[in-house]
A and B are shown apart, each in its own frame.
Chain A
């Protein structure tokens, strides 16, 4: 094996090792919150953004099925009671009402439609 061959073999070996080894430091950058999941405008939307967004993006709200006011209230109570979300009692009420109004079983739109019938 001449010098050049040896060097080529050595380089090939280094390359194989480099491929097999896992990088010592690995890091990623996560994207900001999904801009397509903004919550509806409505009474209390500020309280939702201020409080709920501490822990999670708003897709956690807009992707949920439209369930009842007591069910939404239960979710808000769970966030406070189980996960310790630092939400004041007044804000909690506002948030529950907002969610039931905008993401509840009877949406704001259909209420308007109902009102228009009378």
Chain B
């Protein structure tokens, strides 16, 4: 859009009703007058008033914010374990890059190293062994909108997550090629996204050297489900940290810096902190005495079908289906209750795509009689971690894991 077009566009929508603005904006980005609420077939108030939008490289996603963009994946896409690239959620702190030229793009590996590297996109593909892993990428604040008491921040429903096969090179292979010097402590990661103003801390994250060298699954990925990454999911390469929250999965990765001391950047020391308690939680409404950087995923299970508010027929079998995941120990079992938690039955687990993946589950259920039912699913991983029946709380709205309820009417 030229600046003139943009000005006239802004002038126009500033003066018009939402309906006219919708039609103007909608030609490219808004998917008709559809709102997410309707599209989801649910009565979730968190989705009320949020339009479906189509951003570059993406299909119809639920708009949370437009600048910087935050787009949520409709729950229907989680009916399958692998989330399509075009349906994968989008989340930025600072504006994404809008152009990448691979002929000049380089991944710089610098810092406390014997021989710093500058790798081209071809170098990454030709000079290192290829590695793949299926792994869940979930925003730290996924489900924040359901916190009670409510907290500020992106009011996500449960669609700030996705599961993909990531292919690239092992980060430890890259670091080994660069020769990590003794005394290295942390490694920081920066991407091509740039803050609007110099006072805003650039989005830089870190992992410890041992975290990286001990884990063959930490990748620098150049493919997502066998395709180049969509721009809004981190093109051309993205850091993959299976089992940990998405804040570490730096998009548009361009600088890897090995440090001989702890990294003290804003996004590690001041943001993405959780209470330093065994549950990562505090008494609702209170402040934690000590905090630590958020790290591994909590266990979660979500029912995808039926959806909340759906009407089912009595004495007619229906498949209860969903997904479960954890931080990489693997899902041991998923149990389902159709009587508000009075009794539980084990669900059948679907194909195992690896410990870091979504695991599909399903259970046939025949509603015995008319009425309202609260359906629940609870996952347990292989070290016995599960989901609490009452939601835990922390002031930033992270780590949501609770036995979610899906309320349906049988008529």
A residues contacting B by CB (< 8 A) are 22-38, 54-57, 59-60, 63-65, 67, 71, 75, 82-86
Q: Which B residues are in CB contact (< 8 Å) with A63? A: 50, 64-65, 154-155
- Taking CB atoms, residues of chain B closer than 8 Å to A56 are 65, 67-68
Residue of A nearest to B235 (CB): A26
- With A25-B101, A65-B150 known, 20 other A-B pairs at CB within 8 A are A22-B102, A22-B121, A22-B236, A25-B99, A26-B228, A27-B99, A28-B99, A31-B29, A32-B9, A34-B63, A34-B65, A34-B66, A35-B24, A36-B49, A55-B197, A56-B67, A56-B68, A63-B154, A65-B152, A84-B199
Q: Is the CB of A31 within 8 A of B99?
A: no
8 A Cβ contacts from B37-54 to A: 49-51, 53
Q: Is there an interface contact between B152 and A75, defined as CB atoms closer than 8 Å?
A: yes
Alpha-carbon gap, A32 to B57, bound state (A): 16
Inter-subunit contact A34/B199 (CB<8 Å): no
Closest chain B residue, CB of each to CB of A22: B228
Is the C-beta of B207 less than 8 angstroms from some C-beta in chain A? no
Instruction: Find the residue from B49, B65, B102 having the highest chain A CB count within 10 A.
Output: B65
Contacts of A59 in B (CB 8 A): 63-66
Q: Which residue of B lies closest to A83 (CB)?
A: B200
Q: Mark B217-261, 1 if CB is under 8 A from A, else 0.
A: 000000000001001100110000000000000000000000000
Nearest-neighbor residue (CB-CB) of B51 within chain A:
A36
Chain A nearest CB from B341 CB (Å) reads: 27
- What is the interface of chain B, defined by CB distance below 8 A to chain A? 1, 6, 9-10, 13, 16, 18, 21-22, 24-25, 28-29, 49-51, 53, 55-57, 63-69, 95-96, 98-103, 121, 145, 150-152, 154-155, 196-201, 228, 231-232, 235-236, 266, 270
- Asked whether B152 lies within 8 Å of A30 as measured between CB atoms, the reply is no
A56 to chain B, nearest CB (A): 6
Q: Is the CB of A33 within 8 A of B66?
A: yes
26 contacting pairs across A/B (C-beta < 8 A): A24-B102, A25-B102, A27-B100, A28-B99, A28-B231, A31-B29, A31-B53, A32-B6, A32-B9, A32-B10, A33-B66, A34-B25, A34-B66, A35-B21, A35-B25, A36-B49, A37-B66, A54-B196, A59-B64, A63-B65, A63-B155, A67-B152, A82-B270, A83-B200, A83-B201, A84-B199
Contact with B56, one of A24, A30, A84 (Cβ below 8 angstroms): A30
Evaluate contact between B21 and A54: CB separation under 8 angstroms: no
